[in-house]
């Protein structure tokens, strides 16, 4: 009888030392990063401002969900490309729904030790980032008068002044 009890304990002991979020949704999260147009440089910094990743789009990056015990991580993504305005967005951590499973299945160890220590109590959002970059180039001017074609009769009207004869 003792051997069966020891065997059952040996099988269940590892589960008692794990949290729900760690079991069901553990590890770093992958984030898909795209831009329009493709080929923009994306630089990712953590909440302390430390640059942790730089690559051209499209790309996939694996990011940690926490920056310490009971502390979620937030990331700043900056997109840059010649001829386009820079664009900044964020990927933020939030409480993972699986973490609450510790109330029912993971117990106190999962709730206050395992999931907070591994960072698996958090998830990252959004999981896909797409940036539509905006050109900083002026539209091309055509013709000698900056839009009027040669040989046409065009005039410029000042809308702030009254019409002639008034």
Convert the pLDDT of each residue in 45-59 to its tens digit: 999 999 999 999 999
Tell me the residue range of the domain where 60 lies: 27-132
Which residue, among 32, 12, 20, has the nearest Cα to 104 in the 3D structure? 20
* Coil/strand/helix, residue 126: coil
Average pLDDT, rounded, for the chain: 73
- Domain total of the chain: 1
Q: Is pTM beyond 0.75 here? A: no
* Residue 159 counted as domain residue: no
Looking up tokens 């990011």 gives 63
CATH number for 49 = 2.60.40.10
In the chain (166 residues long), the average pLDDT of successive 10-residue segments reads: 54 46 63 96 95 96 79 92 96 75 64 65 87 87 51 39 50
* Residue 143 counted as domain residue: no
Q: What is the dihedral of CA 92, 66, 79, 41, to 10 degrees?
A: -150
What's residue 101's pLDDT?
A: 67
Query: How far are the Cα atoms of 118, 139, 165 from residue 64, in angstroms, in the given order?
Result: 10, 42, 72
């Amino acid at each position: 009888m003792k051997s069966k009890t020891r065997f059952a304990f040996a099988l269940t002991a590892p589960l008692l030392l794990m949290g729900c979020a760690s079991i069901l949704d553990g590890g770093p999260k992958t984030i898909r990063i795209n831009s329009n147009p493709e080929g923009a440089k994306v630089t990712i910094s953590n909440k302390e401002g430390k640059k942790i990743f730089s690559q051209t789009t499209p790309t996939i990056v694996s990011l940690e969900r926490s920056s310490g015990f009971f502390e979620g991580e937030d990331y700043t993504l900056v997109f840059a490309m010649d001829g386009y305005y820079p664009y900044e967005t964020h990927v933020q951590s939030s409480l993972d729904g699986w973490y609450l499973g510790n109330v029912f299945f993971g117990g106190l160890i999962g709730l206050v030790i395992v999931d907070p220590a591994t960072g698996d109590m958090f998830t990252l959002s959004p999981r896909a980032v797409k940036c539509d970059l905006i050109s900083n180039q002026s539209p091309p001017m055509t013709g000698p008068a900056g839009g009027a074609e040669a040989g046409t009769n065009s005039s410029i009207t000042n809308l702030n002044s009254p019409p002639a004869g008034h």
